[in-house]
Each structure stands twice: as structure tokens, then as C-alpha cells.
Amino acid sequence: MQGQQAHLRILVHRVGVRHSFGVPGDFALPTFAWLDRSKIQSITMCHEPGAGFAADAYSRINGIGLVCVTYCVGGLNVVNAIAGAYAEKSPVVVISGAPGKKDREKDPLLHHKVKTFDTQRRVYDEVTVASTVLLDEQRAAEEIVRCVQACLRYKRPVYIEVPHDMVDRIINIPAIPQSPILHSDPSSLKAALNETLEMIADAKQPVLLAGVELHRYGVTDLALKLAERANIPIASDLLSKSAVAENHPLYLGVYGGAISSDSAVRQYVESSDCVLMLGTFITDMSMGIYTAKLDRNRTVLATTETIGVRYHHYDYVQFTDFLKALSIAPIKRKKFKHPNPHTDPEPLKKSELTDELTMKQVIRIVALNLDENCCVVSDVGDGLFGALGIRTSKRAEFIAPAYYLSMGFAVPASIGVSMANPSLRPFVLVGDGAFQMTGNELSTAVRLGLRPIVLILNNDGYGTMRRIRDGRFNIITRWNYGQICDLVGGGSASIARTKGELDGVIRRAMGSNEVCVIDVRVPRDDMSPQLFNMSSELARLRNAKP
């Protein structure tokens, strides 16, 4: 027998959590005190949204993350970050302190309360796959296990509310049951497999579109085995960039209609007579704001939620079973000539060192300086779309909110990445607008002795929105970003206006062991071709002239 909070922290530690991100508050203080006595390191962030983004990024590297907050003023602050984790299938456990069992008697107007004591849980029901309020010590252990198992099974957030006077209650600890193993219906699996193999056999130019679920569920190797055995090239989409190591000889690049990493990728995928979409989300962003041209009659869509081959849908077929069967099925090797083999970016020439920066050249210079120990952490805008052409050498070396698209993700996410894998150095690409939302989390990075390299893509305002529809609402205050390190008490800051300056400060940053901030001055109306295409499509859809 043990206390509720002891059981909870032991369980989350057992499934891989080593760090918790959060902001304390009075209802959550007993929980934070328990964390201080546990093997889980509690990391206090500046603001709850940053804690949520950090936990999200941590889970993408580690497999599960944890955020701890207080009731409503903290819990509701972090909802947006958890909504993003839900949308992009990132498994995060949310623990919220709450008013005690006795506090709730006679329904008083208690501080932080909104409408009812159940308001926050009901909000979280919309952005989690399981939730519970631990008011009954007899059922507490079962509820904790149920939520954590749901988090791992569905790769989405769960919510556990812990009333402050229940933390130390003694509860019975049942044996932790194994998660049920779901099996495919043999007939449905055989039919789906046969139709897929028939498509592959008839195809002259098949392609595998590797989706983010391959990484989330740890089955990337099954897809790679299929691709390598059959010599089928691989593309990723916006959300799954780096799900497959991007230096693989079969890797084509990022496909997303008009926002593909290059025209060769788009042409190859859209002219394919068999597109194997494995673990792929079909979203407006991943499909290039509806510019993707994929014929359903030439596609196989296999995810944890559906298995579809052409126009046929197969029920009761498990995603992993389908991939395992495909990976060992006899498939004749295909002929494949890479349409655009990867080459390293062209080194800077002396004659161009004084050239003004453009976003295309910023990305080129970043790519020149990355090594296998870097993890690109991108925010919304050109931090995301401009970086599509950057090749990373290991899996999960590109972290971004590529579907939910919440600004302010990257700086706090870099903290999550650093804590999940200290050997990875975050290379943060963040716009000036997004930096103003959560850039104060650099103080957390300094306090923890972390060393992200932060490139603030400074185009004087909301550049993406200006392209979609301009107005005074896109104006933000132009900060003196070079002073940020003085403010947070550590790190170094530089300004880069030319190619040579940017290359030089990045090289110096790579050799340092501290937070490095680079104010990258790019022309106000300049953007990458991918962002230009995306924002132009949105401008057209929103009935505005680009």
C-alpha cells in the first residue's frame, strides 16, 4: 500500500518519464513536493504554455512526457499546448493539482474556480483520450493505470486531477495489468494484404509516403524493411519530416503538394501509380492546402485508425499487423532511379559573404553547419516551411507543430528536447513574432545549463499573415533581441545581416557550451518558396489578394 501520488510517480517513472515540466500553485504544491522526493526531476518553467510545449517535445523524443500544473489558472493555461499534442499524437500525461475533497462541500466560490469544480476536467475531455479526478482512494490506482495505459496506447494526452488533500491517502495497489493485445481479423488482414500486394506488383513507379505514426508507434523499421526489400523510394510529409533518416539512399524529400521540399519530389509522388501512405495524417497542411494531386484509386492508406486500399476499407485490421505482413511478403524488386539525389549545400564563396540574407540563404547556411548531433526545432512560419529542404541524418531530428501550427512552440520545445536527449543540441528556428510569445523560456534554458542555438528570423512582424492579408494587426514591436541574454542572465547574442555574418556566428555558436541567440535580419517581405506557396493558397481561399 502507498499514497496516491507515490503510485502515480512510480508508474510514470516505470514507463519512461524522467522529467516533469510545470509551474507550481497552491493546489499543486503537495504534488510538486512528491516530485522533489522522487526520481523524476521537476523543471519549473516561466509559464504554463511553455511547460506544455516542452512536455510535448520531450514525448516526441522520449515516447511519453509529463506536465504538472495547478488548478484552472495553470491547467487552462496549458490547454492549447495539450490540444496540439492531441492533434499531432504526442503522448503527454497532464497532472493538475485541485481543490480538496473537503473544499468541494457546499460548492463554495473557491479561488481559481471557474463555473463548477468539474469545469477543468470537462475542458480536458476535448483534448485527451482519458481523464480522471482522484476523489475516491478505493479506485485511484485503477484510474491512474487506466489513464497512463491509454496515453501509451493511443499516443495522445491524458488528464489526471489530484485534489491536494488526497495526495497522501493510502491506497491499495493492484497488479498492473498488461495492455490488451489487439489482434487482426485473419480474413480481413489477408484481403487487405493481397490487394495491396497486387497494387505493388502491377506498379511501375511505387512510392512510400512515411507518416508520423511510424515514429510514434515505433514501427519505422517495418516500413524501411519493406522499402529496402522492394527498392521503393520514400517520401515524408510535413508532420513526419525526419520520421525516416533523411540521408537514406531511398529518401526523396518532403511531399506536400505545392509546399513540397522541391519540384522533383512532387512530380515523382504525383506521377506514382502506387502511393503507400503508411501512418500518414491526411490534413490540409500535409496535403499542401489542397494542392496535392493524389488519385485515391492509386493509394493505400494504412494508419492506426483505418486500413484502406483504393476504395476498399478493411475493418478489424491492426496497423502493426499489416506492416509486419507487408515487410515479409514476397515482392519483386522495383527499378528506381533517384530523380534528385541529395547533395550537400554549396559552401559559401568569398564573393558572396557580404550579400544580404534571404530566407533561402538562411536555410542553406543552417544546413551547412548542422551535424548529426543537432536537432532542428522549428516554429510556425519559415522556421517550419523554409526548413523542409534541410536533411537530417537521424530519426526524430526535426521537431515542429506541423499540423496544429501553434506559434511559440520552438523555444520551450528545445528544453524538452535537451532533457529527453542531452546529446542532441537544439537548433531553434523561430520567427520574431513567435519568439515574443515564449522566448522568455530562454531563462529556463540558462538556469538548467542547456545550450540551444536560437535563430530569431527577424522580418519585422507577422510575415506569413502579411502575405495572406496585410493590415495594422500584423505589426509587432521590434525588440532589441541582442539584449535578451543580459535579461535572462546568461548566454551570448549576435546579429547577422549578411551571409558571412550568419555563417560566422553559427560556427562560433557550435563551438560554445551556452545558450546562443542570433538575431537574423531578413528582408521584410522575403520568404521561402514553400511558405510563399502556402500563404498564397491561403490568401486565395480567404478571398484576399496576396
Q: What is the CATH number of the domain that holds 61?
A: 3.40.50.970
Q: How confident is the model at residue 85 (pLDDT cuts 50, 70, 90)?
A: very high
Q: Are strands 312-313 and 307-309 parallel, antiparallel or unpaired?
A: antiparallel
Same domain, 192 and 160: no
pLDDT of residue 283 exceeding 70, the answer is yes
Domain-located, residue 270: yes
Same domain, 130 and 192: no
What's the pLDDT at 3?
55
Same domain, 269 and 294: yes
Same domain, 130 and 197: no
451-471: average pLDDT: 95
Domain-terminating residue out of 171, 203, 222:
171
pLDDT of residue 4 exceeding 60, the answer is no
pLDDT of residue 344 exceeding 90, the answer is no
Domain-located, residue 177: no
Same domain, 78 and 124: yes
Residue 106's Cβ-count burial label (10 Å; 0-12, 13-18, 19+) is: exposed
CA 9, 62, 302 angle in degrees (round to 5)? Answer: 115
| More confident call, 342 vs 269 | 269
3-state secondary structure of 522: coil
151-160: average pLDDT: 96
What is the dihedral sign for C-alpha 530, 535, 540, 546?
negative
Alpha helices, H only, 64-207: 79-87, 119-125, 140-154, 186-202
* CA nearest neighbour of 242 among 137, 360, 391: 391
Query: For residues 93 and 516, what is the distance between their CA atoms, to the nearest angstrom?
Result: 31
> pTM score, two decimals?
0.94
Q: Are 368 and 348 in contact (CB under 8 A)?
A: yes
3-state secondary structure of 179: coil
pLDDT tens digits for range 197-244: 999 999 999 999 999 999 999 999 999 999 999 999 999 999 999 888
pLDDT of residue 545 exceeding 70, the answer is no
Domain-terminating residue out of 110, 143, 171:
171
* CA nearest neighbour of 276 among 318, 326, 341, 313: 326
Q: How confident is the model at residue 107 (pLDDT cuts 50, 70, 90)?
A: confident
pLDDT of residue 154 exceeding 50, the answer is yes
Please tell me the total count of domains within the chain: 3
Q: Minimum mean pLDDT among 33-47, 144-158, 339-353, 385-399: which range? A: 385-399
Same domain, 54 and 155: yes
Same domain, 161 and 255: no
Same domain, 164 and 243: no
Residue 470's Cβ-count burial label (10 Å; 0-12, 13-18, 19+) is: middle
| Average pLDDT over the chain, rounded to an integer | 92
What's the pLDDT at 395?
65
pLDDT tens digits for range 159-200: 999 998 887 776 666 665 666 778 899 999 999 999 999 999
Same domain, 135 and 236: no
pLDDT of residue 314 exceeding 80, the answer is yes
Cβ-based neighbour number of residue 133 at 10 Å: 20
pLDDT tens digits for range 517-529: 999 999 999 999 9
What's the pLDDT at 1?
46
433-461: average pLDDT: 97
Q: Minimum mean pLDDT among 22-36, 334-348, 370-384, 503-517: which range? A: 334-348
Same domain, 357 and 324: no
Domain-located, residue 410: yes
Same domain, 299 and 404: no
Domain-located, residue 181: no
45-74: average pLDDT: 97
Query: For residues 502 and 504, what is the distance between their CA atoms, to the nearest angstrom?
Result: 5
Determine if residue 533 is left, alpha or beta; phi over 0 gives left, psi from -120 to 50 gives alpha, anything else beta: alpha
Element (H, E) at 398: strand 398-399
Query: For residues 438 and 460, what is the distance between their CA atoms, to the nearest angstrom?
Result: 17
pLDDT of residue 378 exceeding 80, the answer is yes
- The CATH number that applies at residue 224 is 3.40.50.1220
| More confident call, 482 vs 58 | 58
Q: Minimum mean pLDDT among 9-13, 472-476, 532-536: which range? A: 9-13
324: domain range?
A: 186-328
